[in-house]
Chain A
Amino acid sequence: MMQVSVRTSEDEIWAALAELPDPEMPVVNLVELGIVRAAAWHGETLAVTITPTFAACPAYEVIGSSIRQRLQAAGVAQVEVRVQHSPAWTTEWMTAAARSKLQAAGLAPPPRHEGNLIQVLMEPVACPRCGSHNTTLQNNFGTTPCRMIYTCVDCKEPFEMFKPL
Chain B
Amino acid sequence: MQRAHQYALSGYLIAMADDELILGHRDSEWTGHAPILEEDIAFANLALDEIGHAKLWYELAADLLGEDQTIYPDRLVYFRDATQFRNLQMVELPKGDWALSTLRQYLFDSLEALRLEVLKHSRYTPLAEIAARIRTEELYHLRHSRAWVLRLGLGTEESHSRMQAALDALWPYAQQLAERLPGERDLHAAGIVPSSAALFDRWHIDAVEFLTKAGLQVNFQQFLAPSRREHTEHLPALLADLQSVARLDPEATW
Contacts and interface: CB of A to CB of B under 8 A. Distances in A.
Interface of A: 54-58, 85-90, 117-118, 121, 138-143, 145, 148-149, 163, 165
A165 B254 CA distance: 31
Nearest to A84: B129
A150 to B, nearest CB: 12
B38 A149 contact: yes
26 contacts: A54-B137, A55-B53, A55-B55, A55-B130, A55-B133, A55-B134, A57-B52, A85-B129, A85-B130, A85-B133, A86-B129, A86-B130, A88-B133, A88-B136, A118-B139, A139-B41, A140-B140, A140-B141, A140-B144, A141-B42, A141-B44, A141-B45, A145-B48, A145-B49, A148-B140, A165-B137
Given A55-B52, A141-B45, 19 more contacts: A54-B52, A55-B137, A56-B49, A56-B55, A85-B56, A85-B133, A86-B130, A88-B129, A90-B136, A121-B139, A121-B143, A140-B140, A140-B141, A141-B38, A141-B44, A141-B46, A141-B140, A141-B144, A145-B48
B140 A163 contact: yes
Is chain A's binding surface mostly helix, strand, loop or mixed? loop
Interface string B42-75: 1011101101110110000000000000000000
B132 interface: yes
Q: Which 10 A-B pairs have the closest CB atoms?
A: A56-B52, A86-B129, A88-B133, A141-B45, A141-B42, A140-B144, A139-B38, A140-B140, A55-B52, A56-B48
B139 A117 contact: yes
B126 interface: yes
Nearest to B42: A141
Nearest to A149: B38
Given A140-B143, A140-B144, A55 B129 contact: no
Nearest to B129: A86
Interface string B103-138: 000000000000000000000011001101110110
Interface of B: 38, 41-42, 44-46, 48-49, 51-53, 55-56, 125-126, 129-130, 132-134, 136-137, 139-141, 143-144, 147
Contacts, number: 74
A143 B41 contact: yes
A51 to B, nearest CB: 9
Contacts of A89: 133
Contact of B51 (A56, A118, A139, A163): A56
B41 A142 contact: yes
Contacts of B56: 55, 85
Nearest to B44: A141
A77 B126 CA distance: 32
Contact of B129 (A87, A118, A121, A139): A87
A157 to B, nearest CB: 16
Nearest to A55: B52
Contacts of B140: 140-141, 148, 163
Contacts of B48: 56, 58, 145
B137 A86 contact: no
Of the listed residues A58, A85, A139, A141, the one surrounded by the most CB atoms of chain B closer than 10 A to its CB is A141
Nearest to A87: B129
Nearest to B140: A140
A86 B122 CA distance: 14
A85 B38 CA distance: 29
Contacts of A140: 42, 140-141, 143-144, 147
